[in-house]
Structure 1
Amino acid sequence: MRALFILLAMLFSGGSALAGDLTVSVRDARGQAIRDAVVTVTPAAGVPRGPIRFSWPLRMTQEDLQFQPYVLIVPVGGVVSFPNLDRVRHHVYSFSRGNRFEIELYGRDQSRSYTFNTVGVAAMGCNIHDQMLAYIKVVDTPWAAKSGADGTVTLRGIPAGAATLKVWHPQLVVRGNETAQAVTVTAAAAQRTFTGDFSGRAAVR
């Protein structure tokens, strides 16, 4: 009886450890690749406890009167730095619901930071330079990344089972600029293509 219990425990443990990779290709209605689309997967069973960490720096630089990068993915609770590398001063702000804040004027080689505690989007602008625009996407899952120039993104090591796949982009013409669909993750690598209307105008809001 004890041996049977141990065997069942081992089988259960092995099954729960199964994980797979998912590659998503993001395209517009003409089949053109869309870069900077944020793709997330949230397993129905939940995400691991503890803080979420990503491999990229939580930093949005101001240089040549632009924000870099255009889209930054940040885990909920993440602290983002805003270094100013320009010769002029900047006044960084977001009026987005749930992520509203302002960092008043500061100059070259100075940096400020802000903690993002609310899942959602912060549309970033500068109160001095209207052409400056960027987005911070705050997520609560470690399976998150943005598409490159080829429109693709691969999320690795997702636990097998039911999950929710989301695609967000500032120009995606759907409510909240984000769409969701149910997926089933298996131990085998899988590919999906997402096609949407990306004709919307990205703007600070």
Structure 2
Amino acid sequence: MTRPFLYLLRAGLLGLLCLISPALWAASLQAELVDTQGQPLTGAVLTLQGPLGAEAEPVTALMDQQAKQFVPNVLVVRSGTKVAFPNSDNIRHHVYSFSPAKRFELRLYQGTPSAPVLFDTPGAVVLGCNIHDWMVGYVYVTDDPWFAVSDAQGRVQLDSLPVGSYAVSLWHPQAPDMLPQAAGTLVLGELQTRQRFTLAMQASTVVAPPQGPASAFGDAFKKAKRDAAP
């Protein structure tokens, strides 16, 4: 083949892909997440495992600390994501987790720690602050490439998805045993899909961070509480 012919062929293929690609990524999902009484669930996670492998690479996510609370209360990230833990309060915090999916400790600090924390194992990670016992947050780590957290009305919006069939999983901090729940298969076409999902919930209690042995952090924690308590 001559070079001009190859050039024209390549240009034609690129043009065809440009016409096809928008249709392949035209799907969107508007979901409502509710409990078994039909009440909206805030901070519920919806994840999708889809037909194509094209997905965003993990980027650094943020779990802030504001007004002595973790913000957001629930953060969902893909496996392999690094999470930074800035402290926007004018007091020091001491962030830790003893969850099997990720055990770590960020000793007493203000501002932003020098290095983010890598979350590379799927599962629910419960966060705590050793200085302020009421501070509880959650990082949900998933291998699924598409995910979102519901807002105050229990709503989730996912756009620019590949058209096709998806396996749906749901999670919430009050889910039984803090385990994800399979929610069946969802077929997404070129028009927006609206769907309601129901999650089974356990008793409405706050899940406290798993506690390690008394010697996990030792006397340093006791001293930190005395020095930094507001």
Which has the larger share of strand?
1
Task: Tell me which amino acid in the other structure corresponds to 2:27.
Answer: G
Instruction: Name the structure 1 match of 2:81.
Output: 78
> TM-score, normalization: structure 2?
0.72
Counterpart-to-counterpart distance in 2, 1:150 and 1:89:
33
* 1:163 and 2:166 matched: yes
Which has the larger share of helix?
2
Task: Tell me which amino acid in the other structure corresponds to 2:88.
Answer: L
1:41-56 alignment to 2 at 5 Å? Answer: 41-43=48-50, 45-48=51-54, 51-53=57-59
Counterpart-to-counterpart distance in 2, 1:132 and 1:19:
40
* 1:35 and 2:38 matched: no
Counterpart-to-counterpart distance in 2, 1:102 and 1:47:
34
Counterpart-to-counterpart distance in 2, 1:50 and 1:32:
32
* 1:140 and 2:147 matched: no
The answer to whether the Cα contact below 8 Å between 2:84 and 2:112 also exists between their aligned partners in 1 is: no
Change (3 A) 1:50 1:83: closer
The answer to whether the Cα contact below 8 Å between 1:171 and 1:177 also exists between their aligned partners in 2 is: no
Give 1:141 deviation, angstroms: 3.5
Instruction: Name the structure 2 match of 1:3.
Output: none
Counterpart-to-counterpart distance in 1, 2:133 and 2:163:
45
Instruction: Name the structure 2 match of 1:96.
Output: 99
* Aligned sequence identity (%): 35
The answer to whether the Cα contact below 8 Å between 1:34 and 1:147 also exists between their aligned partners in 2 is: yes
Give 1:139 deviation, angstroms: 2.6
Change (3 A) 1:30 1:49: closer
Q: Which of 186, 189, 203 is matched with 2:189 structurally?
A: 186
Q: Deviations over 1:86-131 (max 9, x none)?
A: 343222111111211111222x334352111122221101122210
Structure 2: segments with no counterpart, 5+ residues: 1-11, 211-230
- By relative contact order (CA 8 Å, sep 6+), the higher-ranking structure is 1
> TM-score, normalization: structure 1?
0.80
Change (3 A) 1:128 1:158: same
- Corresponding residue SS for 2:86: strand
- Corresponding residue SS for 1:187: coil
* 1:121 and 2:124 matched: yes
Give 1:148 deviation, angstroms: 0.8
Counterpart-to-counterpart distance in 1, 2:55 and 2:154:
30
Indicate the structure (1 or 2) with the bigger Cα radius of gyration.
2
The answer to whether the Cα contact below 8 Å between 1:47 and 1:141 also exists between their aligned partners in 2 is: no
Give 1:69 deviation, angstroms: 1.0
Counterpart-to-counterpart distance in 2, 1:195 and 1:66:
28
* 1:58 and 2:58 matched: no
Counterpart-to-counterpart distance in 1, 2:139 and 2:122:
10
Structure 1: segments with no counterpart, 5+ residues: 1-5
